[in-house]
């Protein structure tokens, strides 16, 4: 008995309800994927190298602060055989780091609050209101960012001295505020422009004043930007050395950067290198802790304007 085989149907070239034959992709997307992978590996490698260059000195300084002087010079790259917490106690008490730390907290805390309050108010007005001279005032603040602080030291000294604020904590706070306002206004003006105007208009319709609208509605909405610019100002003011050196020569009112320089200069006679590293880590920890705690808010504040 003879069987007949039915031939398989050929794929139709066209027609409704018939699936099209898949065309194999060309090699161009694959080449782009390979180029993207190479670029990712290169960029990640650069980031890893940069992270090592930043983290390794910090880890070495912290590790060295727990060693004694003989271990620092004998085996500088090895782990400490035992934790010498007396280095920290000696730097905190004998080197007067406690007084320098307290003065720095007072100066930076007062100047940071004043900078954020005054800077946010000025930036809100420049971003939301049109008045004659708006752009002129804005560019004055922008120009203040490019003015070298070295050129202002001598006239600033005489101005502060004539006001009776030389060698005072509140005088240094006012100078820090004036020094930080240009960048703060520039940063927050761009941020306030990204906030929706409908919320402020609704508040005005409900009878809210300009001050109430700013402090209760617009300022909380600008929280990411405030945190970001606050972190930048905190870093700059905490590490400021030139201004307090010129405007604050009272030994009892020196800030932490001046104390570290004095501690480093005294090592040429005492040789207390372990105490020096302990004091260095003390000055470094608040800045490092602030960035670790608020790093997410800093990134959100920097990208908020682009995302909105």
Q: Does 17 or 80 have the greater pLDDT score?
A: 80
Please say if the pLDDT value at position 153 is more than 80. yes
Overall average pLDDT of the 177-201 stretch: 90
Q: Where are the chain's structural domains?
A: 31-64, 86-307
**Which residue pairs from 156-159 have beta carbons closer than 8 angstroms and sit at least 24 positions apart in sequence?**
156/246, 156/247, 157/246, 157/247
The answer to whether 177 and 109 have CB atoms below 8 angstroms apart is: no
- What pLDDT, on a 0 to 100 scale, did the predictor assign at position 120? 94
For residue 227, the surrounding DSSP H or E stretch is helix 223-238
Inter-CA distances, 282 with 136, 174, 195, 257, 304, Å: 43, 25, 39, 11, 33
The predicted model gives 144-158 an average pLDDT of: 87
Q: Express each pLDDT in 26-60 by its tens digit.
A: 556 666 676 667 678 788 889 889 889 988 988 99
The pLDDT of residue 32: 67
Please determine, for residue 297, whether its predicted confidence score (pLDDT) is greater than 90: no
> In the predicted model, is pLDDT for residue 1 greater than 80?
no
281-292: average pLDDT: 85
Q: Flag whether pLDDT at 64 surpasses 70.
A: yes
User: What does pTM read for this prediction?
Assistant: 0.77
Whole-angstrom Cα distance, residue 170 to residue 2? 111
Instruction: Write down the mean pLDDT value for the chain.
Output: 82
Is a pLDDT exceeding 80 seen at residue 61?
yes
User: What is the CATH superfamily name and number for domain 86-307?
Assistant: MetI-like (1.10.3720.10)
| DSSP tally for the chain: helices H, then strands E | 14, 0
- Asked if pLDDT for residue 10 goes beyond 60, the answer is no
Report pLDDT for 30.
Answer: 65
Whether 18 has a pLDDT exceeding 50, the answer reads no
Q: What is the DSSP letter of 269?
A: H
């Amino acid at each position: 008995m003879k069987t007949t085989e039915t031939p398989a149907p050929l794929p139709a070239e066209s027609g409704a309800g018939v699936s099209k034959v898949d065309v194999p992709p060309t090699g161009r997307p694959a080449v782009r994927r390979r180029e993207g992978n190479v670029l990712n590996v290169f960029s990640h490698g650069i980031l890893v190298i940069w992270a090592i260059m930043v983290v390794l000195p910090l880890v070495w300084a912290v590790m060295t602060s727990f060693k004694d002087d003989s271990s620092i010079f004998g085996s500088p790259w090895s782990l400490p055989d035992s934790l010498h917490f007396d280095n920290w106690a000696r730097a905190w008490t004998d080197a007067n780091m406690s007084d320098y730390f307290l003065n720095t907290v007072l100066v930076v805390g007062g100047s940071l609050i004043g900078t954020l309050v005054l800077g946010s108010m000025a930036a809100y007005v420049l971003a939301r209101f049109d008045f004659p001279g708006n752009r002129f005032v804005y560019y004055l603040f922008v120009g203040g960012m490019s003015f070298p602080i070295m050129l202002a030291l001598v006239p600033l000294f005489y101005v502060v001295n004539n006001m009776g604020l030389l060698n005072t904590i509140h005088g240094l706070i006012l100078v820090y505020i004036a020094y930080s306002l240009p960048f703060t206004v520039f940063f927050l003006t761009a941020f306030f422009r990204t906030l929706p105007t409908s919320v402020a208009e609704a508040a005005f319709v409900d009878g809210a004043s300009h001050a109430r609208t700013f402090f209760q509605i617009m300022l909380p909405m600008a929280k990411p930007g405030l945190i970001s610019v606050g972190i930048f100002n905190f870093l700059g003011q905490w590490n400021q050395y030139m201004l307090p050196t010129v405007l604050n020569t009272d030994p009892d009112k020196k800030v932490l950067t001046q104390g570290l320089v004095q501690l480093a200069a005294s090592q040429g006679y005492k040789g207390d290198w372990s105490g020096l590293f302990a004091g260095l880590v003390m000055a470094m920890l608040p800045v490092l802790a602030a960035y670790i705690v608020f790093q997410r808010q800093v990134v959100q504040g920097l990208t908020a304007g682009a995302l909105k």
